[in-house]
Structure 1
């Protein structure tokens, strides 16, 4: 009896092996909201992207996208799978990047998400210095007020204030900032200089609505312990950038990180109050997904930022910068 020749099938046809390539393509289409944009981003033909999605939908026996001539949106099945598909794409990229770049000069694109106000004040001004140091690295910086998920998104690094609540994320502390209490000279002329935090209750305040301590301001003293003061004021605002001009105009006292008002503190348009009392510092963290090897380009960016802020802190303590 003649033996049969082995049957060779495409990987995507094997019933027990997931179609990883198609899932990765699906993740990129979902993120960009367009078949053609995903094809351009991945360096694939549009037909390849379309066939991959069709292949998935036939295999899953469901529809992943609602398609019209003007809009592309996820179905319920698509929404249930998109986060895990994004991890497939992210893990695949990290594996390849780590192997290729392990012993090479860091190169490629770094995708970074950062809060708008913090990014404009502290990250954007120094990015040209980093790119000058690493000529083979590209930077895709997204300034956003949205809470970016480091796991489900395509970003390599998310920079955010405060310790991330998800303990599974990989975090690197970037820097801590002071939060001085400040006021305009015009406000001080009207209300005088307070000598104790409890006197702040008679001062108008600019109330932040995007933080849990908005109305209750806490201060620490090395000898006198802590004091909490319930503040009030006519101006409530959800963004720190909007606090600075209002404070300069004398609308009220303000409590916010010093990097937002470096110029105003230097030129005297804002004056620190109660210098012997301090509010808790705010720290910024760099966050990356758990269990994913950081490519060389990401590692050098993290170390570069840490070194930059370490030097800056040293200069501030020595009074040379």
Structure 2
């Protein structure tokens, strides 16, 4: 790999020191301008096709962090921020969101903060559910310890941060599940997540022991087998006395009022006709010799 290929690999922008540390000579670096690389300032090489957040980070001697670093670590986030989020220990520069505390060693070859710092910055900067989605995905995908987050944020007395820590639910398996849980919490609707129901399987959310709420990902029904499996699950849910509501991610994100209205309408059915639902199957029917059995389900730990 020559110096130009390396520069392309690291996002199209790098410092002279980084290139030298990677084993390239000053003669190699001297050829870069003839290969299309520019030097906007001394000590920095940049290609026309480059990661703009990396260029901004090097310009201000900082590291990409918080929402701007989510994509690089595969953390759950709906969209990139309009302004770059940078971690730095100085007050120079404008036009970006500044995070002053750097606790962990950054990425070894890219101007990106450590995933731990990225999550800590997000928890203190972003509103839920964006902050909680990034934290849950960092814990699930990168093994960031929950205790570490609690310890590092212990001194933060701001209500948003404390609420975000309290609302972390590691059972969520996607960003849209985190967003759905947040939507239900903010409207005072109790739920249990990732519940295993015999004869049906694991469901995303279970409300009042009779209403199943499933959030379908973008790969939903990507093949005939998944379609057959979901049809069978829906049928099994109905046979066992459960009601089911299913939502696509865009409905959760762009029509939350509709989601809440539909869930509340179904929950009202329980109050109007409780005998129709699983929670009342434990009542013995007239003339029966013994009590009926209540459907069993268990939470995933």
Give the TM-score normalised by structure 1.
Answer: 0.24
Give the TM-score normalised by structure 2.
Answer: 0.25
